[in-house]
Structure 1
Amino acid sequence: MRRHPEYQYLDLIQHLLDNGDRRIDRTGVGTLSMFGAMMRFDLSDATFPVYTTKRVFWKTAVKEMLWFLTGQTNIQSLLKENVRIWTDWPLDKYRKSTGDMISQDAFESKILSDDGFAATWGDLGPVYGKQWRKWVDSTGKEHDQIATLIHTLKTNPASRRMLFHAWNVGELDQMALNPCHMTYQFYASELSDSSSGDGSVGEGTRGKLSLMVGQRSCDIALGNPFNIAQEAALLHMVAQQVDMTPGQLIWVGGDVHLYLNHLEYAHTILAREPRPFPKLRLARRPESIDQYKIEDFEVTGYDPHASIDAPVAV
């Protein structure tokens, strides 16, 4: 019997508990850490790898990915979608800068109701979406990495240069949080004989599209379940846009760590048996990658164990 792919995730957590390097990190919380990990998930049968050993709020994860794709960097638009996962960083900055120990709810309400306040305190700097869609080079020219990727997939899918990334060295110090999931590289396979000699796709040709994500730093408890779900959603969207079938999602982690205040979380999910992954269907095909909405994601068969609360390390 084929081993459930979620055991890859559980094995990483067990390895961290057994062999993790105990260290003090940027947040001061402390972690158990390892260097170098890989997981593979097959999406070719419409599988949506949303972990089941705890409830993952996959809609929130996908909404964050859709926000990245807009190129926006202010949390106001996220809060309008009831996505609160980026609030901790601007809230922490506001409190330290002003001495006002405002509650998160009050801070978010002010971001939503006051555009001027949002412009001053809600912007995260040139984080993911800015780099993906509006990377500015030394001449001042903007580069839309996503548009270039999709164009290359349509015209030269055998290319080894189909990637985008967010590690812009010149702007790291302006970001609320340096990019964790840094590099997204795509690979098209099983291209038909109708492809031209230069690798361009002929009319009606379909191949498989795989995605490998390189993540320099991974919070295995809170971050990774979101990352895997949203990266799978991205692969489904891009594959649809270029008339391909999703293949494999390959995740590669650098510093993979378990925060010391997540140990109870770790033991809880390790005691649970994974359940079947759900399936994902895109309800429509938008004209471009920019036009997907959360309503386009139809997920069936998701029956996870109960959710587990764990604190965010800022």
Structure 2
Amino acid sequence: MNNMPHYEEQYLSLMRQIWENGSVQRDRTGVGTKALFGATMRFSLADDAIPLLTTKRVYWKTAAREMLWFLTGNTNIRPLLEQKVKIWTDWPLDRYRRETGADISQDDFEQRIVEDTAFAEKWGDLGPVYGAQWVNWPRYEAAENGLFRRAAKGIDQVSLLVECLKNNPGSRRHIIEGWNVAELDQMALPPCHKTYQFHVADGVLSCILFQRSCDLGLGFAFNAFSAALLTRMLASVCGYQAGELIWQGGDVHLYLNHAPLVEEQLSRTPSGAPKLKLLRLADSIFDYRIEDFEVVDYQPQSHISAPVAV
């Protein structure tokens, strides 16, 4: 009989610790949080294990579509909305309302983004967020008269990572970094899951994700699944087994207006052992599609909704 604690217990323990003992802070959104600085959780990825929360339903296909979008380098929400993924709408919608004074509904805004190319180009872009930094980090080249100009193609960190994992597995430089200081002020939201570091030992690939800011009630479930998915994809294309996801949080917080979510979730007991199946071996990490992923043995409790703080 397995007497090991369920992997989700560490998440619920951290949630309880913050909710009961966290420091109340004023934050950028004006909502207010209870927060703790510095936390770590570890999740096994062996034998297809995936750290999906079971005390509420996590819409993992939405998270997977977002990860695939990151890997394209696209920073416009239009491709997401075409797939009915609405998790990034709040930021451009807020900007549109502020700058135009228009009282437009979210549904109408999203419909215009999908149907109107010019409108999408102007109002749907998030600035150089995640994907832009991952596969097109700005690079500059010498021009005439001692000046420099931005190169047409930037640095593709993901491709460099894959090559390094394959050809120099013992390196301590297997890193994807999103925190480009020079471009933070151009981003709708600076990267929360900012640094991914990978490690190979005995043919097993593991990942540490450092998150500078973590909305434990809403964002964490997506962040953990996405990091595990990325690790699985990398392991697959590089010829390794997946080992472990180590999650580290800087400012880990719960929003004060998430009390119903927190209290409901803490009343629930985790159960089950979901698995993530990769249904084919892609030629490249950029070739994976949503239909290549399948989650089995996932029987979560009901979804718990809560507002996003923008």
| TM-score of the pair, normalised by structure 1 | 0.94
Alpha-carbon distance, 1:85 to partner: 0.1
Match of 2:307 in 1: 311
Quote the sequence identity (%). Answer: 55
Match of 1:271 in 2: 267
Partner of residue 174, structure 1:
186
Aligned to 1:4: 6
In structure 1, runs of 5+ residues without a counterpart are 191-206
With the length of structure 2 as denominator, give the TM-score of the two structures. 0.95
Cα shift readout 1:128-162 (whole Å, capped 9, x = no counterpart)? 00000000134334100000000001100000001
> Contact conserved, 1:51 with 1:277, CA < 8 A, in 2?
no
Summarize deviations over 1:5-25 as a string: whole Å, max 9, x none: 101110111011111000110
1:277, CA displacement in angstroms? 2.6
Q: In structure 2, what is the equivalent of residue 42 of structure 1?
A: 44
Question: Which residue is equivalent to 2:117?
Answer: 115
Deviation beyond 4 Å, 4+ runs, structure 1? none
Deviation, structure 1 residue 45: 1.3
Alpha-carbon offset, residue 81 of structure 1: 1.1
Give 1:281 deviation, angstroms. 1.0
Q: From 68, 71, 74, give the equivalent of 2:73.
A: 71
Q: Amino acid of the residue matched to residue 145 of structure 1?
A: Q
In 1: Cα distance, 2:15 partner to 2:242 partner: 27
2:168 is equivalent to residue 156 of structure 1: yes
Partner of 1:217: 213
Q: In structure 2, the residue corresponding to 1:125 is in which secondary structure?
A: coil
Mapped contact 1:182–1:216 kept (Cα < 8 A) = yes
Show the 5 A alignment for 1:201-216: 207-216=203-212
Match of 1:287 in 2: 283
SS class of match (1:112): helix
Task: Note the alpha carbon deviations across 1:75-118, whole angstroms, 9 max, x for none.
Answer: 00110111000000000000000000100000000000000000
Answering whether residue 229 of structure 2 is matched by residue 241 of structure 1, we say no
AA of the residue aligned to 2:186: Q
Counterpart for residue 128 of structure 1: 130
Amino acid at match of 2:196: Y
Runs (5+) with no aligned partner, structure 2: 142-149
* Distance of 1:95 and 1:35 partners within structure 2: 34
- Match of 1:83, SS? coil
Match of 1:262 in 2: 258
Residue identity opposite 2:136 in structure 1:
K
**Letter matched to residue 235 of structure 1:** T
Give the drift of 1:271: 0.7
Q: Which residue of 1 aligns with 2:159?
A: 147
Name 1:198's counterpart in structure 2: none
Cα shift at 1:264? 1.2
Q: 2:261 corresponds to which letter in structure 1?
A: Y
Aligned to 1:23: 25
Q: Which residue of 1 aligns with 2:147?
A: none
**CA RMSD in angstroms, aligned pairs only:** 0.7
Hey, what does 2:64 align to over in structure 1? 62
Quote the offset at 1:121 in angstroms: 0.1
User: What is the CA–CA distance in structure 1 between the aligned matches of 2:8 and 2:103, rounded to whole Å?
Assistant: 40
User: What number of residue pairs does the alignment pair up?
Assistant: 298
